Amino acid sequence: MSDLSIASLSEDIRSAIAELRARPEIENVGIVTRVGDGIAWIYGLSKAGFNEMLEIEGINSSTVTAFAFNLGQDEIGAVLMGEDNLVMAGATVRLSGKVLEIPVGPELVGRVIDPLGNPVDGGKPIKSSYSSRIERPAPGVLDRKSVFEPLMTGLVAIDAMVPIGRGQRELIIGDRQTGKTAIAVDTMINQARQKTGVINVYVAIGQKLSKLAALKERLTREGVMEQTIIIATSPADPAALLYLAPYAGATIGEYFRDNKQHALIVYDDLTKHAQAYRQMSLLLRRPPGREAYPGDVFYLHSRLLERSAKLSDELGGGSLTALPIIETQAGEISAYIPTNVISITDGQIFLENNLFYQGIRPAISVGQSVSRVGGAAQNKAIKAVAGGLKLSLAQFRELAAFSQFSTDLDPETRHTIERGQRLTELLKQNQYSPYSIWQMYAMLLAATRGTLDKVPLEKIKLAQEALLRELSQRHLKLTQELNSGNKPSEEQDKIILNVAKEVALGYLDETKDKPKNKESSV
């Protein structure tokens, strides 16, 4: 801090700085020169490190915790973890010798906590024997293994066309209220229903508390809360807590990853995280760049998402899978933050407004959704039947748009459109109802082999339910074998197709292909 800057301060602060300069412990003690908007500027503390915890003497003998964020030569900018009205200029600040940490371990499972590890669900205090730094380096290349184990979402459109593997980072992106959170929640529910043993970590960044309460109630009702940890922050929380929440969630997930287990972490959503970081950065007088975000906003998310990985066998083979969520404005996928996160992740699931309003849910855009892991993250059963599904749907949507301008279509085009309409209907799925592997395989096999082609479009969902019901009642052993994920045999395919043909006969359109009676037209 220059002499000119000090001269602009009040006389009391200048005298406190003069006394501090004469003390030998100036490296570990500082003076608050000014405070406001959740930021405290501190003179001294030359030994402070990034993210180091600071203890500020507050009003009425209280202690306010902050962490060092801007490290200058003589002055540092600290982000307050509590209310800034408890801190006054001239307050003494001391180094704690600790960096930001959070308790981790199995004791957190089933709880709702804040980014500092404090319970906010009204339950008992959490007594964990482990704690870990909120900011940790990501595993190196040699510590990783290629993604090969599928993480089933239970959503046919995703598991068949944009599969997710354990250790992958798959972005969920779309406008507000298009079903982004629903996809993540269904994936969490599927882990419990299929008994995969995957621990869910849901990070709510600036979400309404009423929404979080409803989510917790639903997860409890579905039996998912027993293997879920929720990190909650609301819009009323300081920007510091919104900034720390994703890193705290990653640290908790890493505990299970490093202990030979598998974890799934949902960041809902990183748009609010970037906004909180922008707010802190501007208050700390960092230079604004594009859309007023600081230049290191890419590093903000890259150092977070790189922590998700599939570890090598030497390190136990655990995994941390990330589903970051980004909210777009008017479908603008090429905006600053969306393009940043797209370039970090291993693919994206893009949700379209038009599809959502047409009732196609999940409203996944076939053309703009991709998984860069691809078939490596699919089990053999789904891979065998979903090979040409994405191409078929893409062709259908292109032809469907073209056919609006023409009434005379050749038989091949008409067949492609009718097949695509039925596939689209089959891919519609209600929330909180993920499918198991055998259910997905059976319905996709029946649809792609043409056994449901003559079923009227409005009855296709009824035929699908009947097919699954008949298989579960009459061929229970077959469904159990298919659920293993291994490639089905020709005999198993034959059984499914025969049942599908029987079901389709009961839903055939009686007026279709019926021979005309010439005499009746008189």
Q: Which residues are catalytic?
A: 372
> What's the one-letter identity of residue 369?
S
CA distance 482 to 442: 9
The strand ranges marked E within 249-355 are 262-268, 319-327, 347-351
Residue 55 contacts residue 63 (beta carbons within 8 Å)? yes
CA distance 145 to 311: 5
For residue 107 the two structure tokens come to: 């004791």
Q: Cβ contacts of residue 405 below 8 Å, gap of 6+?
A: none
Residue 504 contacts residue 452 (beta carbons within 8 Å)? yes
Tokens 């009855």 map to which residue?
A: 459
Comparing CA positions, the residue from 163, 165, 183 lying closest to residue 173 is 183
Cα–Cα distance list, 115 to 79, 205, 233, 485 (Å): 15, 10, 8, 38
CA distance 346 to 474: 41
Q: Cβ contacts of residue 313 below 8 Å, gap of 6+?
A: 145
> What's the one-letter identity of residue 108?
L
What are the phi and psi torsion angles at 320 (to 5°)?
-130, 115
CA distance 325 to 9: 44
For residue 330 the two structure tokens come to: 């008017």
Q: Cβ contacts of residue 446 below 8 Å, gap of 6+?
A: 452, 467, 496, 497, 500
DSSP conformation class of 38: T
CA distance 430 to 461: 12
Q: What is the 3-state secondary structure (H, E, C) of 325-383?
A: EEECCCCCCCCHHHHHHHHHCCEEEEECHHHHHCCCCCCECCCCCEECCHHHHCCHHHH
CA distance 289 to 321: 31
For residue 110 the two structure tokens come to: 């089933």
Q: Which long-range contacts (CB under 8 A, 24 or more apart) does 62-71 make?
A: 62/86, 66/40, 66/93, 67/100, 67/240, 69/280, 69/284, 70/284, 70/285, 70/286
Furthest-apart CA pair in the chain: how many Å?
115
What are the phi and psi torsion angles at 23 (to 5°)?
-90, 145
Q: What is the 3-state secondary structure (H, E, C) of 176-207?
A: CCCCHHHHHHHHHHHHHHCCCCCEEEEEECCC
DSSP string, 114-135: -TTS-B-SS-PPP--SEEEESS
